[in-house]
Amino acid sequence: MPTRGTGSWLRNRLRYYIWHDWKKPEKKKRSLIQLCVDKGTAYAWSLTKMGGSTVAQSPILDTTITVQRVKQRGFVPLVEHYQSFSKHPYKNSLFPII
């Protein structure tokens, strides 16, 4: 089993917080429908008794709350953030070489 990286763990936590923020089943159902999930599936997932972490790892949120959708809301993936620093290793360093 491959190990999960920090970026995927952060995305999972972000999905968890989004699911937790929706709070009520009606809001969960409405939000899933807005994310193009059919009504029957959205209704079933909105009433699930699974915990937030389990739902965040499930295919329903993994396929609807994608990296592209959260990037539209201002989320910068960890890999892209790292690459922006690694292009110029000494430019953003705390201790630049003199």
Q: Are 51 and 65 in contact (CB under 8 A)?
A: no
Question: Could you state, in order of their start, the residue ranges of all structural domains in the chain?
Answer: 8-75
Q: How long is the chain?
A: 98
pLDDT at res. 8: 85
What is the pTM (predicted TM-score) of this model?
A: 0.74
Render pLDDT for 16-71 as a digit per residue (tens, 0 to 9): 999 999 999 999 999 999 999 999 999 999 999 999 999 999 999 989 998 888 88
* pLDDT tier at 79, thresholds 50, 70, 90: confident
Helices (H), 1-98: 6-22, 25-34, 39-46, 52-57, 59-64, 67-72, 78-86
Place of tokens 């960890």: 78
Exposed, middle or buried: residue 32 (CB in 10 Å: 0-12, 13-18, 19+)?
A: buried
